[in-house]
Chains A and B, each alone.
Chain A
Amino acid sequence: MNENPDFQLACPTPIGIYEHVVMAHGGGGRLMQQLLDKLVQPAFANPYLAARHDSAVFEQGGQRYAFTTDSYVVKPMFFPGGDIGKLAVCGTLNDLAMAGAKPLFLSAGLIIEEGLPLADLQRILNSMAETARAAGALIVTGDTKVVDRGKGDGLYINTAGIGLIEHGGTIAPASVRPGDAVLINGDIGRHGIAIMAQREGLAFETTIESDCADLSGLVGALLEAGIEIHCLRDLTRGGLASALIEIAQAAGVNIEVREADIPVREDVQGACEILGFDPLYVANEGRLAAFVPADQAERALAALRQHPLGADAAIIGQVPGSSSGAVNLQTAFGINRPLDLLSGEQLPRIC
């Protein structure tokens, strides 16, 4: 190489902070975190928001309530295991459930693209109604807007929810303690792979179905079993890894998890290999992580496994004594490596 006069060690100029929103700002990773920290949090700063929880918890008339909102933009609208309507209701029910709240009332905001078949809309509304009904919640208010063809992906849905907190604990990142055990209620990565397979027209030997489900009954089962739940988090955008990192940072604790104990279905693992994805970062819509005292972990595991949505539950790790806000994964080879937020969404790899 030294004989080549053109040869040099060179590299591009640094790229600065994005001046416009890019897709990675919505990917559940570090860019989204920066967007929230630098723009959203300062704009709305208040103690409820600062709790960094799936739901805001407030007190009114001697009762505690949870309040949450979420928007849903999924392509395709219908996918194996669910549709955007079921997703929109389950997602908000789950955000309430992560505070241990029993869902009461939901709202439904629809932004409909001109040209959406009414039959599709009917099917989605039925799905929303059915999911809410099964959870014992009512959709009591909403809004409808129509945008020009080409200005939306068929349908965007926003749902908000209010739930009643009947337990006496504080289920939030701030309650996580050294010595807690970390449990999840089943295998990870199914929703993201189901959507990706549909979106990209990837045909696998078996159809991978989304895990989309309402987790409020599962959380109720934990509470009924008398488990002292410290924190719950649903493992949506960014998957298990991002959720654990968010909790570690919000709670100021370290978290250790064991790769060998994290269930990943073989077909999902295989699809991840093909796509170049890490299942730890793939979205779920029916999975939660629960932080409970170590001496209650086995009872919590039994309670989860007695519920249909927790049949494959597992204890995957613990909160050690140290507290630097880091998450460590022990690989199957016994090597520890840190888990970090991705920049944005995982991108398909070249080879």
Chain B
Amino acid sequence: MKYLSEFRDPAAARRLADAIAATVTRPWTLMEVCGGQTHSIMKYGIDRLLPESVELIHGPGCPVCVTPLEYIDKAIAIAETPGAILCTFGDMLRVPGSGRDLLSVKAAGGDVRAVYSPLDALKIARAHPDRQVVFFSVGFETTAPGTAMAAFQAQRDAIANFSLLVCHVRVPPAMEAILSSPNNRVQGFLAAGHVCAVMGYAEYEPIAERYRVPIVVTGFEPLDILAGIHDCLVQLEQGRHEVSNEYARAVTHDGNVPAQALMRQVFCVVDRQWRGLGSIAQSGLGLSADYASLDAESRFELHALSTPEPAECLSGLVLQGALKPDRCPAFGSRCTPEHPLGATMVSSEGACAAYYRYRHTATATPAETA
């Protein structure tokens, strides 16, 4: 299969791993930004193909994990409103709010629907003109264009019963927050390929220059990740700190220009709270003044709803790459996918969930059969 099997070829992976081993003369610490990359690394055991002196740490690039508790609670409040239909991505259904998750709300009678696209939510709104339909839109710049298109179409077609609970986040400010932290250990970044497919990579150039770190745009297949690691390590060994593109089949320097134009029209840059990390300036996207009528927080009078985030687990450190998931005292005991302390253990892209799924050997009770 073009673009799939070729990028999972074991012999080619071994050659790249050998090239990496031949490159490295001292210890280096790299961060893969995206949760999808984290899962690929765990799933294929890519970190085990690397020399011990190369450490991969996992970044905050799981949109589910970083969605603030407050917004989960707002989504739950909408889902509990009689007559409302709350649509969101499947990943969000099991993320705990301050007390429950959306699956529990659904079980209690709320109309919660997992969709693949914001445009599917818009279809549901068209099909149920007598009900308020809300799309809970989370994610990085990867998913923001879909939300922007849904907003554009809803406004253009005057779909009065559709609104958006927007909690989009931007990658570059999060990278800068990590690099400027006193805990920072990151010496090079693997940038998230799908984000760059939309945004290009021009905005990373000043970051690479300012913090003197190489940033390599990297894909998600095993060979993509190994190639990204190799490129990053070559730069580090040579004392370079450039932005380079190892995902050229999907990413161009300028990215998806029409998508960016629509995003600029629909969204404005706002400060955003990140779950486990706190507030990061200019790191979010909210609805612009032109699209304020689609704001579900106003429509459902939720602006006053705020949820403090008690310090119950160490996912903040995990999201910064300062703590490996399996070094957390609660990992695999008090914190499991069934009883998560934090979103990093719930999300399909969360680093803790990846470690649990691919590294943790469960000692569960025997299963009854179907």
B-binding residues in A (CB < 8 A): 1-4, 6-24, 28, 30-31, 33-34, 36-37, 40-41, 49, 52-54, 70, 200, 233, 236-237, 242, 245-246, 249-250, 266, 269-270, 273, 276, 324-326, 331-338, 340-344, 347-351
Whether a CB of chain A sits under 8 angstroms from the CB of B59 is no
Docked complex: B334-370 residues within 8 A CB-CB of A: 334-335, 337-343, 348-349, 356-370
B47 to chain A: closest residue by CB: A335
Q: Mind listing 23 A-B residue pairs with CB under 8 Å? A: A3-B180, A7-B177, A7-B279, A8-B311, A9-B278, A12-B310, A12-B313, A12-B342, A13-B96, A18-B107, A24-B103, A30-B364, A34-B338, A237-B370, A246-B366, A246-B367, A269-B4, A334-B10, A338-B359, A338-B362, A348-B90, A350-B91, A351-B140
A1 contacts B317, C-beta separation under 8 Å: no
Using CB atoms, name the residue of chain B closest to A328: B361
With CB as the reference atom, state the residue of chain B lying closest to A246.
B367
Are B180 and A28 neighbours in the complex by a CB distance under 8 Å? Answer: no
Docked complex Cα distance between A245 and B357 (Å): 13
A246 CB, min distance to chain B CBs, angstroms: 4
The reply to whether B99 and A249 form a contact with Cβ atoms under 8 Å apart is no
Fill in one digit per residue for B295-334: 1 if any A CB lies within 8 Å of its CB, else 0.
Answer: 0000000000000011111111100000000000000001
* Pairwise interchain contact B316-A333, C-beta atoms closer than 8 A: no
On whether A15 and B340 interact (CB within 8 A), knowing A270-B1, A347-B348, A349-B349, the answer reads yes
Give bound CA distance, A270 to B5, whole Å: 10
The interface residues of chain B lying within 8 Å CB-to-CB of A9 are 276-278, 311, 314-317
Given that A1-B178, A8-B278, A351-B36 are known contacts, is A333 also in contact with B365, CB under 8 Å in the complex?
no
Q: Is the C-beta of B211 less than 8 angstroms from some C-beta in chain A?
A: no
Q: Could you tell me the distance in whole angstroms from the C-beta of A315 to the nearest C-beta in chain B?
A: 19
A91–chain B nearest beta-carbon distance, Å = 9
Query: Chain B nearest CB: distance from A291 CB in Å?
Result: 14
User: Quick one: CB contact mask for B87-103 with A, threshold 8 Å, 1 for yes?
Assistant: 00111111011111101
List 8 other contacts, CB 8 Å, given A11-B311, A325-B366, A333-B222: A4-B177, A13-B99, A15-B99, A37-B365, A249-B365, A332-B8, A333-B45, A351-B63
Chain A residue with minimal CB distance to B179? A1
Determine whether the beta carbon of B368 is less than 8 Å from that of A350. no
The 6 closest A-B pairs by CB, nearest first: A335-B45, A9-B316, A347-B90, A348-B90, A7-B278, A15-B96
Q: Taking the nearest CB of chain B, how far is it from the CB of A32, in angstroms? A: 8
Q: Could you say which residues of chain B place their CB within 8 Å of the CB of A200?
A: 116
CA distance A333 to B44 in the complex (A): 7
Neighbouring A residues of B1 by C-beta, 8 Å: 266, 269-270
Complex CA–CA separation, A49 to B365 (angstroms): 15
Q: Which residues of B contact A333 (CB under 8 A)?
A: 10, 13-14, 44-46, 49, 222
CB within 8 A of A341: which of B46, B97, B364?
Answer: B364
Q: Which of A2, A24, A349 has the most CB of B within 10 A?
A: A349
A283 to chain B, nearest CB (A): 10
Task: Say whether B368 contacts A347, CB under 8 Å.
Answer: no
Partner of B278, one of A6, A53, A250, A326: A6
Out of B96, B104, B337, name the residue touching A20 (CB < 8 Å): B104
Within the complex, what minimum Cβ distance (angstroms) separates A270 from chain B?
6
Tell me which residues across on chain A come within 8 A of B108, comparing CB atoms.
20
Which residues of B sit under 8 angstroms from A17, Cβ to Cβ?
A: 339
With A and B bound together, what is the CA distance between A31 and B356 in angstroms? 16
A18 touches B104 (CB 8 A): yes
B142 interfacial by beta-carbon distance below 8 Å: yes
Q: How far is the CB of B305 from chain A (nearest CB, A)?
A: 15
B341 A14 Cβ-Cβ under 8 A:
yes
Instruction: Tell whether B181 is near chain A: CB-to-CB under 8 Å.
Output: yes
What B residues does A343 contact at CB under 8 A? 94, 337-338
* B213 cross-chain contacts in A, Cβ below 8 A: none
The answer on a CB contact under 8 Å between B280 and A52 is no
Judge whether B69 is part of the interface by a CB distance below 8 angstroms.
Answer: yes
Whether B139 and A350, one on each chain, are in contact in the complex, defined by CB atoms closer than 8 angstroms, is yes
Known: A9-B276, A12-B312, A341-B364. A348 touches B103 (CB 8 A): no
A351–B139 CB distance below 8 A: yes
Contacting pair B89 A23 (CB below 8 A): no
Whether B58 is near chain A, meaning CB under 8 Å from some CB there, is no
Contacting residues, chain B, for A246 (C-beta < 8 A): 366-367, 369
